[in-house]
A and B are shown apart, each in its own frame.
Chain A
Amino acid sequence: MLKTTLSLALLLGASTAAYAQENLAPNYNVAEPAVSDPSIKPTAPTVPVITDDEHLYETFGGREGLTALMDDAMARWLQNPKTRPFFEAADQTKIKALLVEQFCVIMHGPCTYSGRTMAEAHRGMNVKEGNFYGLVEELQVAMNKRHIPFRAQNRLIAALAPMHRDIIDK
């Protein structure tokens, strides 16, 4: 019984894994930004392109939609005490423009990302997991306000989530 159950569990685990692997973000290989300091070793891509068509990018309303989304998200990050300290003294206009570029590239939009890697951009910021989740939650609210379908939102967030290794506690 133990053996049967364990092999059943392993079988389910394996099929789940195979299913997940097929659906994990494939990378359509946009070159990563260069790292200026060789001591910085990024562990997750900054621009992991997750699709080979422009459907998702269009779902987000293209460049215009992303610009409006980031305007709203930034206003929320400046309100939320979990995220405000990281943005209030920063160049918000530049951050918004870079995030538009980054999201655009990730969704196979016609953009080029001109910023740094996530690892370099967050070095020394001491972002905690709670700050990271706070940022994602406000982004979700902003995406909801723009009526971006939940499944499309999750595809973008799934692409951003692995960046936690280069952002949290760095």
Chain B
Amino acid sequence: MLTGGVSTIEGAGGGGIVPWALIGSYATRNQIGASAFVTGVDTQDFTLASYGGAVSFYNRLELSVARQNFNLRDVGAAIGLGNRYTISQTVIGAKLRLFGDAVLDQDTILPQFAVGVQYKINDDKTVVGGALGLKRKGVDIYASATKIVLSQSLLLNATVRLTKANQYGILGFGGLGGKDQAYKAQFEGSAAVLLTRKLAIGGEFRTKSNRLEGALGGTSFREENAYDFFVAYAPTRNISITAAYARLGQIALARQNGAYVSLQLGF
């Protein structure tokens, strides 16, 4: 159990914020599987609620969708948008396993390798599309390599992502005024220790581009790398609960640290 990973905030199977090469759910090469998740991230200034699901086909293809609601809480009122102003986006994802089996191939160093895309559609025409004049749609492309070193009870993952997104797409895509529109490569990593069949602990990090710093007054829109430390628990084969401490770096004015809780059901 837990060898299929959990659902990231963007819907793809992986850790909390990093997609892995694993195809979500426990479906084998002969089966179709499905999963659903709900995740909440609560920092001192903001709340992110994300929910969605994925369908996986024959341990080969994973199709996912996630809906993210980013609540500005008091900050919304402070900048004249009204209390609890929320920016929402939808992430539609596809991931294809190219080769390798992270679990079964324990006699080779070859990891499981997958490529994926995430099409992100930000709904916010007032701030993101309006006041900031940013693009509201973008496509992320990523490649992930994941290995479970079972003899050491370890899971290791490395992901490279080409993206134009600001803060996962919550603040749109590319720079202000149509500038800085090129893809930039970001690096994401995860490591986890399997403690029991039902329990794993680990950490993740994710580099982010910084296209909006300088916009609208100095450092207020600086974007920084994100980290988390998680505990994942699967009381049964179909349920997993992940709790994490997330350090998301600066998001609008202040560094955001907080709690991450996620529930996933898999079939």
Q: Which residues of A contact B (CB under 8 A)?
A: 1-2, 5-6, 8-9, 12-13, 16-17, 19-21, 23-25, 44, 48, 50, 128-130, 133, 140, 144, 150-151, 154-155, 157-159, 161-162, 164
- Known contacts A13-B145, A128-B30, A164-B104; is-contact A140 B197 (Cβ 8 Å): yes
Contact B29 A129 (CB under 8 A): yes
CB neighbours of B153 from chain A (8 A): 150-151, 154
Other A-B contacts than A16-B111, A133-B26, A161-B107, 6 sampled, CB-CB below 8 A, are: A6-B160, A9-B158, A12-B189, A13-B158, A129-B30, A150-B195
Q: Tell whether, in the assembled complex, residue B149 and residue A161 are in contact, meaning their CB atoms are under 8 Å apart.
A: no
Chain A residues whose CB sits within 8 angstroms of the CB of B149 once the complex forms: 19-20, 23-24, 158
Q: Is B239 an interface residue (CB 8 A)?
A: no
- For B30, the closest partner residue in chain A by CB is A128
Smallest Cβ-Cβ distance to A27: which chain B residue: B107
Interface SS majority for chain B: loop
Give the CA-CA distance A2 to B103 in the complex, in Å: 30
Given the known A-B contacts A17-B109, A23-B149, A129-B30, are A161 and B104 also in contact in the complex, defined by CB atoms under 8 Å? Answer: yes
Residue from B29, B195, B207 within 8 A of A5 (CB atoms)? B207
Distance from A126 Cβ to chain B, minimum over Cβ atoms (Å): 11
Query: Which chain B residues lie closer than 8 Å to A151 at the CB level?
Result: 153
> Which residue on chain B has the smallest CB distance to residue A18?
B109
Interface residues of B (CB under 8 A from A): 26, 28-31, 59, 103-109, 111, 145, 147, 149-153, 156, 158, 160, 184-187, 189, 194-197, 207
Cβ distance A119 to chain B, nearest Cβ, rounded Å: 15
B106 adjacent to A24 (CB under 8 Å):
yes
| Docked pose: A26 CA to B59 CA in angstroms | 29
Check B184 against A16 for contact (C-beta < 8 Å): no
Q: A155: shortest Cβ distance to chain B, in Å?
A: 5
User: In angstroms, how far is the closest chain B Cβ from the Cβ of A85?
Assistant: 15
Q: Which residues of B contact A158 (CB under 8 A)?
A: 106, 149-151
Task: Give the CA-CA distance A1 to B98 in the complex, in Å.
Answer: 26
Q: Which of A5, A13, A21, A162 contacts B104 (CB 8 A)?
A: A162
A-B contact pairs, 13 of them (CB 8 A): A2-B184, A5-B207, A6-B160, A20-B109, A23-B151, A24-B109, A25-B151, A144-B197, A150-B196, A161-B107, A161-B150, A162-B106, A164-B104
| Cα-based distance from A128 to B197 in the complex (angstroms) | 22
- Distance of A129 Cα from B147 Cα, bound (Å): 19
Inter-chain contacts of A129 with B (CB < 8 A):
28-30, 59
Name the residue on A nearest B59 (C-beta).
Answer: A129
CB distance from A11 to the nearest CB of B (A): 10
List the 4 closest A-B pairs by CB distance, nearest first: A129-B28, A158-B150, A162-B107, A158-B151
